[in-house]
């Protein structure tokens, strides 16, 4: 608790553990420290602003583009010349200077205005952009203080933090009154235990300052002196200076132009996911090669990734790992991945539209989000897969539920189907529930009807667009992960004509040159490795995908059988898997496996095997 500012312990520590836990938390800490150092800001203040604006650490860790509005840098584009003149680190922020900004209304409580939103190249660029934007506000306060005959830097550090937060939220015009008060020796903090409300500038800044002081000390080891109460001065009411439009950038637009337009700030497809692998581990390679030379398995395809100890570059060894195979039901993990990728992108769009003023108290308000996405993304999907491939777009209303604050979830029955209910339906029963229930049944029992419902709801263009853009299918070599059937005969093109070519030796066994359900051991291993590392989409999506890959509990797992059928049986702690059975009498399996060794989780063996 911050007793000086009368901020409770719960408020002081709000969300900080979520930002700084695990390997991703360490990476975020480094990004914040580096950005704060670039602009000479307190890192605790910087990360507090980041938390206040997004509450989503993955926004700053992602390799994909990030919206300026999403991170609270509403006027970055409009003020770019002024920022460049005052903050040298502006030149290091990467963004496409030729992009056309998206214009929309902001979310101010009153006197809403148009803002121009741009996309920064990546999450780390968004961190630096936030630092640069915040520093610009601080510099402007310093300039205004000098014009008033005062010295901004003579103010206590906590007061400067609060004023900088006010300037970030309300513009320097909105913070000037409080700056005047502070320069006269007045106390700008609201030292009362009252709830923080949106647009309530003073108490908001008080709480944010307490959080910044805590994070500065707790995470970055920089102690901020206590925010002692200054002598009384004339108070300036909060109603005069709310988090509303910044006076420095009047919109100057006709009323007719101030209408929300399409706000798609996220691409439908991801950028390729990078994955560093160690191909030169001699002992690991020798062990894998010794196993693969056995005549009984030499003709098979496989891949192994050692994740033990969470290495930055896990050891990898493949065997016939680029052969294109008919993988059967193993390909049901492809729509699983596509669904989570889509959910992540719909959520970014939903939060952006809601922040831009989309009312959520009108029945069917979610349909506006779905309509904007279809309008913007539909042409992209059509261009990616032109005729004769039939067009298609995800049935977003059937797949997702959206809360009024923009959180997006996979639709499921209320309450969700239990494991016992899924087991009663099994492999051949009729699916019940909604999208997430179907997906669980598809993965736990390999139920073809459930798979069909998931695949047709997502659409072949979206699933394969995600696989290609994510780096799991190469359209030039026609190699990787591909799905153009739904397991019930509803092919993308009749007769499997949308399928991909099999490697010749497998085409002979299949007695056909192409397949609707294609995969390589290498790309399946890449997909599962990214999931196991928590790097596919984000950590939360990866964890959820691991949790629903329950084939070993339901339909079974050949990998699990290898453990239990060994002489003597081999112990394992968890297996997240998906099998496939080929009509060429070859079977397939892929799994993320963990084998605990004692009570120390750091000693656990963890690997991906295909």
Whether residues 225 and 351 share a domain: the answer is: no
Q: Mean pLDDT for each 10-residue chunk of the chain (610 residues)?
A: 68 62 82 94 90 75 84 90 94 92 71 82 94 95 91 91 87 85 87 64 82 84 75 34 30 30 69 94 95 90 95 95 96 98 95 90 93 93 95 97 94 93 96 97 97 98 97 95 97 95 92 95 98 91 92 92 92 93 84 86 88
596 Cβ contact list (under 8 Å, min separation 6)? 573, 603, 604
Considering the domain boundaries, does residue 95 fall inside one? yes
Structure token pair of residue 156: 């206590």
Mark whether 372 and 477 lie in a shared domain: yes
Q: Report d(CA 482, CA 465) in Å as an integer.
A: 10
pLDDT of residue 129: 96
Are residues 236 and 167 in contact, defined by beta-carbon separation less than 8 angstroms? no
Residues pairing with 604 in the sheet: none
> Exposed (0-12), middle (13-18) or buried (19+): which is 280, by Cβ within 10 Å?
exposed
Cα torsion angle, 321, 325, 330, 332, sign: positive
Other CB atoms within 10 A of residue 598 CB: 8
Asked, for residue 218, whether it belongs to a domain, the answer is yes
Q: Is 608 among the domain residues?
A: no
pLDDT of residue 460: 98
Question: Distance (Å, rounded) from C-alpha 301 to C-alpha 306?
Answer: 17
Query: Could you tell me the pTM of the whole model?
Result: 0.60
Q: What is the tally of structural domains in the chain?
A: 2
**Are residues 357 and 236 part of one domain?**
no
d(C-alpha 305, C-alpha 233), whole Å: 66
Q: Classify burial at 421, counting beta carbons within 10 Å of its beta carbon; exposed 0-12, middle 13-18, buried 19 or more.
A: middle
DSSP assignment of 225-288 equals -------------TTTS-S---TTS-----GGG-S------S-SSPPPPP---B---HHHHHHH
Nearest alpha carbon to residue 148 among 125, 182, 113, 195: 182
CA distances from 409 to 339, 366, 395, 401, 469 (A): 10, 13, 14, 5, 23
Pair (100, 188) in one structural domain: yes
Phi, psi angle pair for 302, to nearest 5°: -160, 170
CB-based contacts of 444: which residues, under 8 Å, 6+ apart? 419, 422, 423, 548, 550, 551, 553, 554, 555
Q: Is residue 22 part of a domain?
A: yes
3-state secondary structure of 223: coil
Q: E strands within 389-502?
A: 400-402, 408-410, 473-474, 479-480, 482-483, 500-501
Q: Please give the Cα distance from 372 to 354 (Å, whole number).
A: 13
Q: How far apart are CA 14 and CA 211, in angstroms?
A: 8
Which residues, including other chains, have CB under 8 Å from residue 296's CB and lie 6 or more apart? none
Token output for 600? 């120390």
Provide the domain limits for residue 233.
9-247
Domain match, 232 and 338 both: no
Q: Which of 497, 519, 541 is the last residue of a domain?
A: 519
Helices (H), 148-230: 157-183, 201-218
Shared domain check, 195 and 57: yes
Angle at 432 between CA 428 and CA 434, to 5 degrees: 130
Q: Do 14 and 142 have their domain in common?
A: yes
573: in domain: no
Direct distance between the N- and C-terminal alpha carbons of the chain, in angstroms, rounded to an integer = 51
Domain presence at residue 577: no
Distance CA 283, CA 456 (A): 45
The pLDDT score that the predictor gives to residue 55 is 64
Q: Of 519, 546, 567, which closes a domain?
A: 519
Residue length of the chain: 610
Alpha carbon distance 210, 232 (integer Å): 21
Residue with tokens 């979830």: 409
Residue that finishes a domain, picked among 232, 247, 262: 247
Same domain, 222 and 347: no
572 lies in a domain? Answer: no
The CA distances from residue 406 to 16, 60, 222, 348, in Å, are 21, 18, 35, 8
- Do residues 362 and 238 both lie within one domain? no
Asked if residue 499 belongs to a domain, the reply is yes
What is the biggest distance separating any 2 CA atoms in the chain, rounded to whole angstroms? 89
């Amino acid at each position: 608790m911050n007793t000086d500012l009368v901020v409770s312990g719960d408020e002081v520590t709000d969300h900080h553990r979520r930002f700084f836990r695990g390997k991703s938390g360490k990476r975020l800490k480094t990004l914040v420290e580096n950005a704060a150092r670039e602009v000479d800001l307190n890192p605790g203040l910087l990360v507090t602003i980041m938390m206040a604006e997004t509450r989503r650490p993955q926004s700053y860790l992602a390799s994909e583009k990030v919206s300026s509005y999403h991170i609270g840098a509403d006027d970055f584009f409009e003020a770019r010349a002024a920022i460049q003149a005052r903050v040298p680190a502006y030149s290091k922020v990467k963004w496409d200077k030729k992009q056309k900004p998206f214009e929309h209304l902001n979310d101010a409580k009153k006197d809403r205005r148009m803002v121009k939103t741009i996309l920064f190249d990546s999450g780390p660029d968004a961190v630096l952009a936030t630092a640069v934007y915040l520093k610009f506000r601080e510099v402007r306060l310093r300039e205004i203080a000098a014009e008033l005959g005062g010295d901004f830097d003579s103010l206590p550090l906590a007061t400067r933090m609060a004023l900088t937060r006010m300037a970030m939220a309300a513009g320097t015009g909105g913070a000037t009154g409080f700056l005047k008060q502070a320069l006269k020796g007045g106390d700008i903090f609201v030292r009362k235990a009252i709830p923080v409300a949106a647009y309530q500038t003073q108490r908001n800044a008080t709480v944010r300052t307490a959080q910044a002081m805590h994070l500065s000390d707790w995470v970055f080891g920089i102690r901020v002196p206590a925010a002692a109460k200054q002598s009384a001065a004339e108070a300036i009411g909060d109603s005069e200076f709310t988090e509303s439009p910044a006076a420095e950038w009047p919109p100057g637009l006709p009323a007719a132009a101030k209408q929300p337009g399409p706000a798609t700030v996220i691409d439908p497809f991801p950028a390729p996911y990078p994955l560093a692998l160690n191909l030169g581990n001699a002992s690991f390679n020798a062990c894998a090669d010794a196993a693969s030379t056995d005549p009984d398995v030499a003709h098979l395809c496989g891949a192994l990734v050692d994740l033990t100890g969470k290495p930055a570059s896990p050891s990898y060894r493949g065997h016939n790992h680029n052969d294109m195979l008919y993988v059967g039901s193993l390909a049901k993990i492809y729509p699983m991945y596509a669904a989570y990728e889509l959910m992540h992108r719909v959520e970014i769009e939903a939060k952006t539209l809601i922040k831009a003023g989309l009312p959520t108290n009108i029945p069917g308000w979610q349909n506006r989000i779905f309509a904007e996405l279809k309008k913007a993304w539909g042409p992209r999907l059509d261009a990616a897969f032109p005729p004769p491939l039939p067009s298609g777009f995800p049935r977003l209303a059937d797949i997702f539920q959206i809360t009024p604050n923009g959180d997006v979830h996979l639709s499921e029955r209320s309450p969700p189907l239990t494991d016992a209910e899924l087991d009663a339906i099994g492999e051949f029963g009729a699916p019940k529930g909604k999208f997430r229930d179907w997906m669980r049944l598809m993965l736990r029992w390999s139920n073809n009807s459930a798979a069909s419902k998931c695949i047709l709801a997502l659409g072949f263009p979206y699933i394969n667009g995600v696989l290609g853009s994510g780096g799991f299918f190469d359209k030039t070599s026609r190699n990787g992960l591909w799905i153009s059937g739904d397991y019930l005969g509803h092919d993308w093109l009749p007769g499997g004509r949308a399928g991909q070519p099999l490697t010749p030796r497998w085409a002979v066994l299949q007695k056909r040159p192409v397949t609707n359900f294609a995969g390589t051991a290498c790309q399946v291993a890449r997909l599962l490795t990214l999931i196991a590392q928590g790097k596919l989409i984000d950590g939360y999506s990866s964890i959820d995908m691991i949790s629903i890959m329950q084939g070993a509990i339901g339909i079974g797992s050949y990998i699990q059988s290898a453990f239990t059928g060994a002489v003597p049986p081999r112990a394992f702690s968890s297996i997240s898997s998906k099998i496939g059975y080929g009509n060429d009498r070859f079977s397939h399996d892929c799994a993320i496996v963990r084998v605990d060794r004692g009570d120390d989780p750091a000693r656990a063996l963890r690997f991906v095997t295909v």
